[in-house]
Amino acid sequence: MSFNVDSPPEEPPAECQHRLLWRLARALWEAHRPDSAGFCVATGCWHTNQRDPCRLAQLAQEGMRTACGEATPASPPWIAVTRERLAAGDIDPVDAVAEALWHHRHARRAGR
């Protein structure tokens, strides 16, 4: 990965294959990222080992890895959630079209 999962960039990195998925996972990360003392920034979110990110922050990290093409235990649910959010209209259609165009351009470059 070209990014640090403990401090991911706001914008998807160059190798990101699913930019909308990245944005969903990155938003979850922002809501549950550890503060400088290692505690989740979400009020009331507690976990047993404060040296590690909370479960939702870990899930967000897996989502960002999935978006960049890495298989993780949470990959299938992340992909399903992204599809459901698109179908429900929870994701801006302009973003969905931009994602489709991005995939189309990259598939043509790869000769697919």
Q: Where are the domains of the chain?
A: 19-109
Q: What is the pTM of this model?
A: 0.72
Check residues 60 and 35 and name the one with the higher pLDDT.
60
- Quick one: tokens of 60? 């967000």
Place 97 in a pLDDT band, splitting at 50, 70 and 90. low
Q: E-assigned strands of 1-112?
A: none
Tell me the mean pLDDT in the region 30-45. Answer: 83
pLDDT tens track for 57-94 = 888 999 999 999 998 888 888 888 878 877 887 777 67
Q: How many angstroms separate the CA atoms of 82 and 47, rounded?
A: 26
